[in-house]
A and B are shown apart, each in its own frame.
Chain A
Amino acid sequence: MNVELTELARRFGRNQAVAGVSLQAGPGVYGLLGPNGAGKTSLLRMMATVLPPSSGKMRLLGRDPGNHTQRREVRRRLGYLPQTLGYYPGFTVAEFVEYFALLKDMPPGQVPRAVATAVERVGLGDKGRAKLKTLSGGMLRRAGIAQAIVNRPDLLLLDEPTAGLDPEQRVTFRALLREIGEQATVVVSTHLVEDVGAACTEVALMDRGRVVFHGTPGELTARGEGSGAAGDAPLERGYSAVLAAARS
Chain B
Amino acid sequence: MTAATAHQAPAAPAAPQLATTGARLAWLYLVSRRIPAAAGLLGALGALLWIALAGHWNITGGPAARLVIPLVIETGAAGIIAVAGHGPFGETERATGRWLPWLRLGSTLALTGAAFAVLAAGATGGALPGGVPALLRDLAGITGTGLLAAAAIGGSFGWAGPMGYLLITEGALATGWGTPWIWPGRPAGDLGGALCAGAMFAAGLAAVTVAGVRSTRSRTALE
> Which positions in A face B, CB cutoff 8 Å?
84-87, 89, 133, 137, 140-141, 163-164
How distant is B122 from chain A, measured CB to nearest CB, in Å? 38
Contact between B218 and A137, CB atoms less than 8 A apart: no
Contact between A84 and B218, CB atoms less than 8 A apart: no
Q: Which residues of A contact B218 (CB under 8 A)?
A: 89, 133
How distant is A137 from chain B, measured CB to nearest CB, in Å? 5
Q: Please give me the residue from chain A that is nearest to B221 by CB atom.
A: A85
How distant is B153 from chain A, measured CB to nearest CB, in Å? 15
How distant is B156 from chain A, measured CB to nearest CB, in Å? 12
Instruction: Knowing that A89-B218, A137-B221, A163-B222 touch, tell me 7 more A-B residue pairs with CB under 8 angstroms.
Output: A84-B221, A85-B222, A87-B221, A89-B217, A137-B219, A137-B222, A164-B222
Q: Please give me the residue from chain A that is nearest to B218 by CB atom.
A: A133
Q: Which residues of B contact A133 (CB under 8 A)?
A: 218
Instruction: Return 17 A-B CB contacts under 8 Å, by A number.
Output: A84-B221, A84-B222, A85-B221, A85-B222, A86-B221, A87-B221, A89-B217, A89-B218, A133-B218, A137-B219, A137-B221, A137-B222, A137-B223, A140-B221, A141-B222, A163-B222, A164-B222
In B166-219, which residues have CB < 8 Å from any A CB?
A: 217-219
> Which positions in B face A, CB cutoff 8 Å?
217-219, 221-223
Q: Which residues of A contact B219 (CB under 8 A)?
A: 137
Q: Which residues of B contact A86 (CB under 8 A)?
A: 221
Q: Please give me the residue from chain A that is nearest to B223 by CB atom.
A: A137
How distant is B7 from chain A, measured CB to nearest CB, in Å? 29
Q: Which residues of B contact A137 (CB under 8 A)?
A: 219, 221-223
Q: Which residues of B contact A141 (CB under 8 A)?
A: 222
Interface centre among B217, B219, B222, by most A CB within 10 Å?
Answer: B222
Q: Which residues of A contact B221 (CB under 8 A)?
A: 84-87, 137, 140
Q: Please give me the residue from chain B that is nearest to A85 by CB atom.
A: B221
Q: Which residues of B contact A84 (CB under 8 A)?
A: 221-222
Bound CA span A89–B156, Å:
14
How distant is A99 from chain B, measured CB to nearest CB, in Å? 16
Q: Please give me the residue from chain B that is nearest to A132 by CB atom.
A: B221
How distant is B214 from chain A, measured CB to nearest CB, in Å? 14
Bound CA span A86–B217, Å:
12
Interface centre among A86, A137, A141, by most B CB within 10 Å?
Answer: A137
Bound CA span A133–B219, Å:
8
How distant is A161 from chain B, measured CB to nearest CB, in Å? 12
Q: Please give me the residue from chain B that is nearest to A160 by CB atom.
A: B222
Q: Which 8 A-B pairs have the closest CB atoms?
A: A85-B221, A137-B223, A133-B218, A140-B221, A163-B222, A137-B222, A84-B221, A87-B221
Q: Which residues of A contact B217 (CB under 8 A)?
A: 89
Q: Which residues of B contact A87 (CB under 8 A)?
A: 221
How distant is B219 from chain A, measured CB to nearest CB, in Å? 7
Bound CA span A137–B220, Å:
8
Bound CA span A137–B221, Å:
6
Q: Which residues of B contact A164 (CB under 8 A)?
A: 222
How distant is A197 from chain B, measured CB to nearest CB, in Å? 23
How distant is B90 from chain A, measured CB to nearest CB, in Å? 12
How distant is B194 from chain A, measured CB to nearest CB, in Å? 41
How distant is A203 from chain B, measured CB to nearest CB, in Å? 24
Q: Please give me the residue from chain A that is nearest to B219 by CB atom.
A: A137
Q: Which residues of B contact A140 (CB under 8 A)?
A: 221
Q: Please give me the residue from chain A that is nearest to B216 by CB atom.
A: A89
Bound CA span A208–B96, Å:
35
Q: Please give me the residue from chain B that is nearest to A82 by CB atom.
A: B221
